[in-house]
Amino acid sequence: MGGDLDLVSKEGAIYFVILLLLSSYLMFFRLGASSLKGGEANHAVVSKHVADTGELYPLYMISMDPRAEKRYYCMKPPLKIWAEALAFHCLSYNEFSARIVDAIFGVLTVLLVYVMVSLIFGHPTLGLLASMITLAFPPIIISHCFRHGNQDSALVFFYTAAILFYLLYKKRDSRLSFCLSVVSMVLGLLVKDVFLLFFGFSTILGEFLILNRNPRAIFTTRNLALVAIPLLSYVSYKIYSGVATHGVCLSRFFKPPFILSLGEHKPRYIKGFTYYLNLLYKFYGVFFLLTFLAILRKYPARFMRSPRNDPEERDLDWNLALFTLFICLLYVLAISIPIYKVKRYLYPVIPGLAVAMSFFIWTFIRSMKNAKAKALLILVLAIFVASSLRYTNSKIRKVKIAPYHALMVHYNNLSENKAFLVDLSRSEVFGTYATFYFSRLSTPVDWYEEPGLFSFLKNFHGRAFVVVSEPDYMLKLLKEKGYSLVKVWPLKHRKKQVPKNFVLEVEVSQERGGPL
């Protein structure tokens, strides 16, 4: 598999600097140029609350209807929230600070792939190829991950770390690599995904099925630790958070797969295929890499030799070709599939698939005898990576401030005859639809009956946005109260008109605003 790599060699240092500069540009350039979208604003409001109050387990309200019973829940595992709160404390309260933690995790993921692949295979060029293929997947950068203030970026990093440290442990039998793999699983559990609880189970089962090992070999101390430590860590976290929140977090020990809709008081279970595709891809990601591991262990030192004349190795070439084709098809599907949710489900396994792809591409190129064909394949690969990076760069440069965007997505069932005021001024960049969720936070946004709405306006100055189901009635009231109407537009959900819901843009002057 190649000898041990000196990471401070001239070649390794040059590749490291190239990846550091390229990934930093892709992650940080114009990072705070757009207003927060989707769950970014949710996380930002919670993180700001943690930074201001020191409350480590802030709760949010799941019910949107003020007539319903208020039910509070924890905002997912808290590690990413704490990191974002630290960013707010150290920097300032703006879009850049809300996303800087995710951008850092993005850069670290790219560098981790390079360092770990180089260590596992002893070839810095292979590490460079794996990192470039990771960067050549545009959605992971521009869509809800490395440049967005949510948990996915940290989750991708810890998934990748758990898998690659485990591969390094299997190659070198390194106790440190094993410990780092387990620590990565635990930290991943504290970011978002309960699936990492099953990483140890699926790894042990996969090794047993693929490598045809003795069943007694399963019950080793390290295998038991691989299962027990993440499980005990997660249980301990749940118990502690449950005590800290007086039983609220403990009541949802295992979060069921549900989505929420406005006006519904109970969770609606996902019956579509996207949730099951989520589990499918995550299990496939683990088993693909286990198959990859099995091949490496069965043929520990033959991959870097060419040409291959051994019949056993020729059979291996066919297996590698089919396996590579399947992974490439999966990767192409991940790039081209139009369903947003499905793309998000793929993110945690993308760096792992990039590692497998880079290894088989590298092996195939080294085994080619025709120099022209080899050069042509390298050129095609370079064009693919360059075009993907160019596309990502173009998307980053086109980012614009969209102060109304967050208000216009996801919500399609606002309660009848209720007005909701949201401050989207640039001085309060997080006054987006995310604040719909919270009642415990010290934000100037909540459900209002008509008297409450106008009491709020008396204590407010700036530009307010009122979401209403009866615009004519509210327009009449606003005019009677002397407020200046700037604009009326339909409330939209993914560019489609939401029935009976409109947004009224109201200018509240300094004279009308201020304290009562």
- Closest to 303 measured CA to CA, from 164, 126, 114: 126
Instruction: Report the residue count for the chain.
Output: 516
This prediction's pTM: 0.71
How confident is residue 292, by pLDDT bands cut at 50, 70 and 90?
low
pLDDT for position 331: 56
Question: pLDDT, tens digit, for every residue of 141-195?
Answer: 887 788 888 888 888 899 889 888 887 887 777 889 889 988 998 888 888 766 6
CB 293 within 8 A of CB 213: no
- Closest to 334 measured CA to CA, from 140, 163, 59: 140
Q: Is 270 exposed, middle or buried (0-12, 13-18, 19+ CB in 10 A)?
A: middle
Dist. CA 5–CA 164, nearest whole Å: 16
CA distances from 180 to 14, 236, 355 (A): 26, 20, 19
Question: Alpha-carbon torsion 280, 285, 286, 287, what sign?
Answer: positive
How confident is residue 380, by pLDDT bands cut at 50, 70 and 90?
confident
Least confident segment among 70-84, 85-99, 162-176, 273-287: 273-287
Neighbours of 229 (CB within 10 A): 16
pLDDT for position 325: 58
Question: What are the b/e assignments for 369-399, b being 16+ CB within 10 Å?
Answer: eeeeeeeeeeeebeeeeeebbeebbeebeee
Q: Residue 307: is the preceding peptide bond cis (ω within 30°)? A: yes
Least confident segment among 102-116, 445-459, 462-476: 445-459
Dist. CA 217–CA 297, nearest whole Å: 16
CB 115 within 8 A of CB 353: no
pLDDT for position 336: 55
Share of the chain above pLDDT 90, in %: 8
CB 26 within 8 A of CB 396: yes
CA distances from 300 to 292, 297, 305, 358 (A): 12, 5, 11, 17
- Per-domain residue ranges for the chain? 10-30+94-397, 405-508
Higher pLDDT, 4 or 271: 4
Average pLDDT, rounded, for the chain:
66
Question: pLDDT, tens digit, for every residue of 23-38?
Answer: 999 999 988 777 666 5
How confident is residue 111, by pLDDT bands cut at 50, 70 and 90?
very high
Question: pLDDT, tens digit, for every residue of 82-96?
Answer: 898 899 888 887 778
Query: Mean pLDDT across the stretch 325-346?
Result: 57
pLDDT of 318 over the 80 cut:
no
- Bridge pairing between strands 258-259 and 72-74: unpaired
pLDDT for position 109: 94
- Closest to 1 measured CA to CA, from 363, 355, 321, 325: 363
pLDDT for position 428: 31
